[in-house]
Amino acid sequence: MTLDFTVFADDIKSEEALGVELTRALKGVHDVRPHASSHSELGQVIFVQPSDKAHAYLTGLAGSEKRRGRAVFLIVPEGATQIPEELEDGLVDDVLVYPFRKLEVISKIRIYEQLLMWNEVETMNASFSELMGQLKDDFKLAERLQKSNLPARFPEVRGFKVAQRYLAGMKSGGDHFDLGDSKDGNQLSIVLTDSSSYGLSSAVLSTLMRVTMKLSVEEVRSSSETVRRIQDELKATLTEKDKLSLFYGVLSRKDYRLRYLNLGSTTAFYAPTGGSFTELKSGGEAITASTTDISVQESEVVLEPSGRLALISDGFADVIGGSDKVRALLNEFRSLDAKDALNEMVFRVKSQFVEDDDMPAQDCTGVIFDLDARLIRLA
């Protein structure tokens, strides 16, 4: 380590002589570069011989930027018994007895080096803390930008804010979710299907299109009738191994009453304003080739302003640990934005992956409806 130091005395000759002695004392421990007080730059350590001139110098140095990060030692004669005024006033860091003792000079410098190191650590910690604060702000900005860039599949669902997350699975088949407004805008149809094969998945999509085109206004209001129509359309394509889990609901915008039929493994949950999630009633087994008739009556739930409705396919439920675990997770993140709550569910799935390109066993679909807090029932 190279140590620059400055000597301040009454005259240049005294400064040079003290510089020689200090250099001799530090020889073999440090490479030293002594500077007289007339030098334009001060060294890391300043040695001051006491005098009235030195006291004025130290007073001026104490209030200047040049003092920062430098150690100042007052040279006192051997046999001095009084504490120097400069030390009591905090103008110097320590005293050094003259004539110099090599071990004492080295010890004083080592203490200074330790203090300097801790000052650097403190400065670095402060800078790191400031950097972390800036990064935290950057993360928040990045999160807002990321959310704003997420595709909004259903940007204009009157009375609702809809968020959806989907992970493709390895098993054949797949999930399908969609919404449909009635022509008069008073009814909102909600459908989530989980097909056991690719062929059934394709058939479901085309069936939904045909059924919705054939339904009358009165039939649209009945989820049971719609599901019967879907079953009839699928009879010709269902194989012995096919299974179709289906949630179909019709929401009235007049009273926000959701009438629904839930068949198979799809789960639905609802949390009222300020309340916890409960699982909505299941209507029976999945639709198969042996299903002869769907006689289950539709269930209903009245949605409240600021309430939250969640539809979760069994892909998520299987990985998370069942419907009870899903409900607990939804309750845990009830206060979060819907996108954040779904992202937490996705994280639970991906946390079990070994490789970055791993996939869940089957499709995972999660949809959350947040009801507008300003909703007013018309009937």
User: What does the pLDDT read at residue 332?
Assistant: 93
Q: How many residues does the chain have?
A: 379
Q: Does the residue 132 lie in any domain?
A: no
Cα 307 to Cα 344: distance, rounded to the nearest angstrom? 20
Range of the domain at 100: 2-121
User: Do residues 274 and 364 both lie within one domain?
Assistant: yes
C-beta atoms surrounding 162 within 10 Å: 19
Task: Answer yes or no: are the C-beta atoms of 335 and 276 closer than 8 Å.
Answer: no
User: Do residues 167 and 235 both lie within one domain?
Assistant: yes
**Domain final position from 121, 147, 171:** 121
Residue carrying structure tokens 């449909």: 180
| Helix, strand and coil in the chain, % to nearest 5 | 40, 25, 35
Q: Does the residue 311 lie in any domain?
A: yes
User: Do residues 116 and 166 both lie within one domain?
Assistant: no
User: Do residues 177 and 309 both lie within one domain?
Assistant: yes
Cα 379 to Cα 377: distance, rounded to the nearest angstrom? 6
Cα 267 to Cα 112: distance, rounded to the nearest angstrom? 68
User: Do residues 36 and 85 both lie within one domain?
Assistant: yes
- Residue 228 maps to which CATH number? 3.60.40.10
Q: Does the residue 140 lie in any domain?
A: no
Alpha helices by DSSP H, listed for the chain, are 12-26, 52-62, 85-88, 102-149, 198-214, 217-220, 223-234, 314-320, 323-332, 338-350
**Domain final position from 95, 121, 147:** 121
Cα 300 to Cα 282: distance, rounded to the nearest angstrom? 11
Q: Does the residue 213 lie in any domain?
A: yes
User: What does the pLDDT read at residue 378?
Assistant: 53
Cα 295 to Cα 301: distance, rounded to the nearest angstrom? 19
User: Do residues 100 and 186 both lie within one domain?
Assistant: no
User: Do residues 185 and 111 both lie within one domain?
Assistant: no
**Domain final position from 97, 121, 145:** 121
Q: Does the residue 220 lie in any domain?
A: yes
Q: Does the residue 43 lie in any domain?
A: yes
User: Do residues 188 and 302 both lie within one domain?
Assistant: yes
User: What does the pLDDT read at residue 309?
Assistant: 95
User: Do residues 111 and 165 both lie within one domain?
Assistant: no
User: What does the pLDDT read at residue 308?
Assistant: 95
Cα 307 to Cα 161: distance, rounded to the nearest angstrom? 11
User: Do residues 216 and 354 both lie within one domain?
Assistant: yes
Q: How confident is the prediction along the chain (379 residues), in pLDDT tens digits per residue?
A: 677 888 888 888 888 888 888 888 887 766 677 766 666 677 788 898 888 888 888 888 887 878 777 888 899 888 888 888 888 888 888 888 988 888 888 888 887 777 777 767 777 777 776 776 666 666 565 555 444 444 445 557 788 889 888 888 887 778 888 888 777 778 888 889 888 887 787 777 777 766 765 555 455 557 777 888 888 888 777 888 888 898 998 898 888 999 999 998 899 999 998 899 999 987 788 888 887 776 667 889 999 999 999 999 988 988 888 999 999 999 999 999 998 999 988 888 888 888 877 888 888 999 999 998 877 655 4
User: Do residues 167 and 115 both lie within one domain?
Assistant: no
- Residue 67 maps to which CATH number? 3.40.50.2300
- The two three-digit tokens of residue 111, written as one number: 């203490």
Q: Does the residue 131 lie in any domain?
A: no
User: Do residues 292 and 360 both lie within one domain?
Assistant: yes
Q: Does the residue 138 lie in any domain?
A: no
pTM (two decimals) = 0.58
* Tally of domains in the chain: 2
C-alpha angle 128-133-135 in degrees, rounded to nearest 5: 90
